[in-house]
């Protein structure tokens, strides 16, 4: 099982899309193991987006991410990083395929609704930035055996 960080950005929150987006992940079989509605500070945004510092869009990105509350999620499942990123769609809504979150809800190249970790290393780093000890939970879903084939011992 893999755990990834997802951020429903200010535009998703302001447009009232949180429930619809979470439902997509849950419908797919991805488990919510952590959730936090929060206002990101300038310091946290700068740390989270440190790899973009110095790029022309950096200041606007930090300003955008601190402009309104966000919903931060820890999502878990087999291959959850790749699955969630595929569900998110291309970075720019104008280029995202229909059926993806960005393709169905976005058209802007600036406001792209959602962030998702792009690797296991990034997920581990980002989860620690947004969740403290005990805020990402391990819990058993009653329907787990109907999401994954567990007959071989490992979920697949």
Give the domain CATH number at 95: 3.30.70.141
pTM of the model: 0.94
pLDDT of residue 150: 85
Instruction: Tell me the residue range of the domain where 117 lies.
Output: 2-132
Residue 154: inside a domain, yes or no? no
Indicate the average pLDDT of the chain: 95
Residue 103: inside a domain, yes or no? yes
In which band, very low, low, confident or very high, does the pLDDT at 82 lie, cut at 50, 70 and 90?
very high
pLDDT of residue 109: 85
Residue 117: inside a domain, yes or no? yes
**Residues whose CB is less than 8 angstroms from the CB of residue 141 and which lie 6 or more positions away in sequence, other chains included:** 31, 147
Place of tokens 């969740």: 131
Residue 143: inside a domain, yes or no? no
In the set 48, 52, 115, 125, the catalytic residue is 115
Residue 123: inside a domain, yes or no? yes
Residue 93: inside a domain, yes or no? yes
d(C-alpha 128, C-alpha 1), whole Å: 17
Residue 74 near residue 138 (C-beta atoms within 8 A):
no
Residue 37: inside a domain, yes or no? yes
List, for residues 41-57, the tens digit of each pLDDT value: 999 999 999 999 999 99
How many structural domains does the chain have? 1
To the query of whether residue 115 is one of the catalytic residues in this protein, the response is: yes
**DSSP-H helix ranges across the chain:** 10-14, 18-28, 42-48, 58-65, 80-88, 101-105, 120-130, 144-147
d(C-alpha 24, C-alpha 151), whole Å: 26
In which band, very low, low, confident or very high, does the pLDDT at 70 lie, cut at 50, 70 and 90?
very high
Residue 131 near residue 37 (C-beta atoms within 8 A):
no
Residue 151: inside a domain, yes or no? no
In which band, very low, low, confident or very high, does the pLDDT at 140 lie, cut at 50, 70 and 90?
very high
Structure tokens at 71: 């919903």
d(C-alpha 123, C-alpha 73), whole Å: 11
């Amino acid at each position: 099982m893999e755990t990834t960080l997802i951020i429903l950005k200010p535009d998703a929150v302001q447009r009232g899309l949180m429930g619809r987006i979470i439902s997509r992940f849950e419908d797919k079989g991805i488990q919510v193991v952590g959730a936090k509605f929060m206002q990101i500070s300038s310091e946290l945004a700068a740390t989270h987006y440190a790899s973009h510092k110095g790029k022309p869009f950096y200041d606007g990105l930090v300003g955008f991410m601190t402009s309104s509350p966000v919903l931060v999620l820890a999502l878990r499942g087999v291959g959850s990083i790749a699955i969630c990123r595929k569900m998110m769609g291309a970075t720019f809504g104008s280029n995202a395929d229909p059926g993806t979150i960005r393709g169905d809800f976005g058209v802007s190249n600036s406001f792209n609704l959602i962030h998702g970790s792009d690797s296991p290393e990034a997920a581990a780093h980002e989860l620690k930035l947004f969740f403290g000890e005990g805020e990402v939970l391990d819990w058993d879903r009653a329907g787990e055996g109907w999401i994954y084939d567990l007959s071989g011992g490992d979920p697949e």
